[in-house]
Structures are given as C-alpha cells and as structure tokens.
Amino acid sequence: MSNRRIFFRAAGAAALGATAVSRIGAASLPEAVIQTSPTMQPLLHPSTGRPYQPVATLNGWSLPWRMNQGVKEFHLVAEPVVRELAPGMKARLWGYNGTSPGPTIEAVEGDRVRIFVTNKLPEHTTVHWHGVLLPSGMDGVGGLTQPHIQPGKTFVYEFTLPRAGTHMYHPHADEMTQMAMGMMGLFIIHPKDPRQMKVDRDFAFLLAAYDIEPGSATPRTAEMTDFNLWTWNSRVFPGIDHLVARTGERVRIRIGNLTMTNHPIHMHGPNFVVTGTDGGWVPPAARWPEVTTDVAVGQMRAIEFDAVAGDWAIHCHKSHHTMNAMGHSLPNMIGVDHRGIAERITKLVPDYMVMGDKGMAEMGAMEMPLPDNTLPMMTGTGPYGPLEMGGMFSVVKVRDDVKPGDYSDPGWYRHPPGSVAYEYTGEVRQPARAAAPKADAKTLQVRKPSGHSGH
C-alpha cells in the first residue's frame, strides 16, 4: 500500500533567486514519504502542476516535493528496506524511503532544489548527485566535500539544476558496501521548454547486481565479480514491470548502470537511437541507429524509438544476466550419455536427477525443490510456453488501443492471423550443409561412462 502524499505547488510562491544556501528556508523538514510497493506507482501527471511528461520508473515511484519560497524541497531517508526481487524472494537491502532503488527525483532545468537527507542506517553515509553540475561542496563526497552524515543526523543539499538530463544519486561513503546493498536512485531533470526532447512515454531504470546465497536474504557485499542476481530497479524477471506503449508513440528509455560490469541492453523490434547520456543530450547529427547499447559502469544512456505493435523482448545481451541464481561450475553435459550412471546413483540417492545432456532448456519447465526465499534459475511463462529467463529481462508491449497515460499490462500480444512462426509438416529434404571437418574417431565418439550400464 502506498501512503504517498502529493505536495501541491504553494499558491503565490515567489522565486527566491538565491545562489547561497538559505538556512532560514531550510528551517523546517518536509514530511518523509515512505513507499513499500514493488510495482510501478501511478505517475505524477502533468495535471498536478508539473510542466513535463513524468518519468515511469519501472517498479518504482517519484518522490513528492513541496514548494518553499520558490525552492523545491525533497526529503530522502537512507534506511534498511525489504525489497521483493520477484514473487517468491525478498531481499534485505539498504535504500531510501522504503525502497531500493530509492524514489526517482524529478525536477526541471533551472529549478532550485533543497534535498534533506536523513540517515537511518547503522553507519554514516552521504549522497552524490551523479552528473549534476553543482557547487563542489554539494557534491556529496564524504571526507572530500563534506563531513559524513552520521546515523540519526539530517543534512541539507541545495543547488540549482543547470541543464536537463538523466542522472543518478548514490552514496559516496563506504560505497562498495552501500551500493552493493542497493543504495541508488534516479535523478531526472526535465527541459524547461516542454517541447524540447518531447516524448510520449519516458521509462527509467537502474541496473544493480546482488550476490545473495540461495536460501538467504542479505547480499554478500564483498563480492566483486560473481553476482547471482542481475536486476533492473532491484527486480528480476518475471518481476520487472512491462514497458507499455501505444503504436506510433515516441518512447524513451533511460538506463543507468551501478553494477560492477557493463550491460549491453538489447531491444527487439523497432531500432532505436541513443539520444542522451548523463553528460547531456546527443546532438541530432551525432545519433545513430542501434539495436543494442552498451551501458558501462557508472554510465547512463537514454534511447528513443517509435513504438511498433507487438511484444518485444528487452534484455541484457550477456546471456548469464538473464538467469537468476545458479552454480557456475556446472560441467557441460551436452552429448554425454549418463543414463547408466543415473540409474546407479538413483539406487543410492532416490531423488537424484540428471540434467543437461540435451542442453539446459528443460530447466525452464522443471519444478525443482529450492531453498526458501530462492528464485528458479530461469522462469516465467509466455503464451507459448516457458520463457526460460530470469534477471535482466522484460517486454516492451505495444498495442494500437492503449490509452494515453495508461501503463497497465495489456496482456500478451494477439498476433494477426498468419503472422506467427509455425510448424512445417511436409516432407523435409536434405538441406545444403558444409562438409564436416575430418576428425579422428576418438574426438567424435559419443562419450560413455566407463563400466556397465546395469542392463
């Protein structure tokens, strides 16, 4: 349940125009809005006085603000949170205002913002406003530009937003631990002229990776490379919101990467162009068509396309990043005839199961006993069967009849008759094929376990 409150623009609020921090203006703390729902919250629509198309944060929400003498005031609370990664698994993370990632901060180019940060963590923290040009003392680097925010204390950040763009916020204090625990959020600055960089839908998400042992709930923060949960906004497939649009709409997707590796984000269907980074908008002449854009560590990318009807997969193209927790030391069993071994082991271990001699696809349909609070390695079912996915995967759902501003799931795409791949039942002729290279018989023989099969 959301207990968000929307602060309306104060009538007659005067522009302050101050360049220095106003300690008098910062005298009272705005209410801290807490959110616990793991699904996308209704957007703060332009009718609430916002002169911009709000961002749709996947499985997230935008932080309400209040006007105080021309300054937009926000209140972030850094605190431990429980985040559902997908139905069936909850993680103990750190975040802001009840969620990881924290709420999206949305403001407008030229705005003066005052952001109160209350620390309810067991250790000190700070907030760095990634990519925003501001006075050095507001940059949030603990020890370098400010004293750390100790547990129980509240600090004030105040600055003017010089240009529109796609940004993040995250701690710059014990970063390795705090970001591995999920502390991050989006900071979107809309153009002052709403006609500039206008789109009909504007989605946003952050890439985060966790290493949570099967059966446990708290990430191992010391892990450097071997993560087992690859998330968008701290959610994994099939728990990630779909990206819903109407045919012909101009759609933007903003992606930021706070993991320890790069993620080539690939979208099926319409080609897109990269229109922005956290460094600003890409000039039109410098944009080029793409179907995959690599988002390196600490980078953000904004992509745009014209929506085409269909169900289009969008995912990280590192195939291990569309899997949930799994062991990485599995031997490749393809081509190994282990029927005999399985029979013999079953006599000793009745539940023993052998898999993988024909590939791993059977895992997608299999129900295996799992430790509590653990997701299957691959899961999710589409209209034609198991999707065999996990992790960084979602679906762009484009329909002709989606109403403007409606982000609700329209269900699976109903393909026009005759437009779906189908089984051929006629005679199959010998296809052209390359000649096999000459290899010695030992290389090509089917490997069999030594000894007798028991028959």
Residues that bind Cu ion (CB under 5 A): 263, 316, 318, 321
User: In the complex, what is the shortest distance from the CB of residue 317 to Cu ion, in angstroms, rounded to a whole number?
Assistant: 7
Nearer to Cu ion (CB atom), residue 43 or residue 207: 207
Distance CA 145, CA 159 (A): 14
Nearer to Cu ion (CB atom), residue 177 or residue 262: 262
User: In the complex, what is the shortest distance from the CB of residue 55 to Cu ion, in angstroms, rounded to a whole number?
Assistant: 22
User: In the complex, what is the shortest distance from the CB of residue 209 to Cu ion, in angstroms, rounded to a whole number?
Assistant: 8
Distance CA 390, CA 394 (A): 9
CA distance to 38, 70, 326, 354, 366, per residue, from 330 (Å): 33, 60, 9, 12, 17
Q: Name every residue whose Cβ is closer than 8 Å to that of residue 311 and which is 6 or more positions away in sequence.
A: 395, 396, 397, 412, 413
Residues 308, 313, 318, 322, Cα dihedral to 10°? 160
Nearest to 232 by CA among 274, 155, 148, 295: 295
3-state secondary structure at position 389 = strand
User: In the complex, what is the shortest distance from the CB of residue 85 to Cu ion, in angstroms, rounded to a whole number?
Assistant: 16
Cα torsion 318, 319, 321, 322: sign: positive
Nearer to Cu ion (CB atom), residue 208 or residue 316: 316
User: In the complex, what is the shortest distance from the CB of residue 316 to Cu ion, in angstroms, rounded to a whole number?
Assistant: 3
Q: Check: CB of residue 35 under 8 Å from CB of residue 103.
A: yes
Nearer to Cu ion (CB atom), residue 83 or residue 263: 263
Nearer to Cu ion (CB atom), residue 98 or residue 238: 238
**What are the backbone angles phi and psi of residue 452, rounded to the nearest 5°?**
-90, 150
Nearer to Cu ion (CB atom), residue 120 or residue 318: 318
Nearer to Cu ion (CB atom), residue 76 or residue 236: 236
3-state secondary structure at position 344 = helix
Nearer to Cu ion (CB atom), residue 307 or residue 316: 316
Distance CA 411, CA 24 (A): 52
**What are the backbone angles phi and psi of residue 76, rounded to the nearest 5°?**
-95, 140
Tokens of 438: 């000459």
User: In the complex, what is the shortest distance from the CB of residue 132 to Cu ion, in angstroms, rounded to a whole number?
Assistant: 26
User: In the complex, what is the shortest distance from the CB of residue 187 to Cu ion, in angstroms, rounded to a whole number?
Assistant: 23
Count how many residues are written for the chain.
455
With 0-12 CB in 10 A as exposed, 13-18 as middle and 19+ as buried, what is 70?
middle
Nearer to Cu ion (CB atom), residue 7 or residue 230: 230
Cα torsion 101, 107, 108, 114: sign: negative
User: In the complex, what is the shortest distance from the CB of residue 261 to Cu ion, in angstroms, rounded to a whole number?
Assistant: 7
User: In the complex, what is the shortest distance from the CB of residue 240 to Cu ion, in angstroms, rounded to a whole number?
Assistant: 13
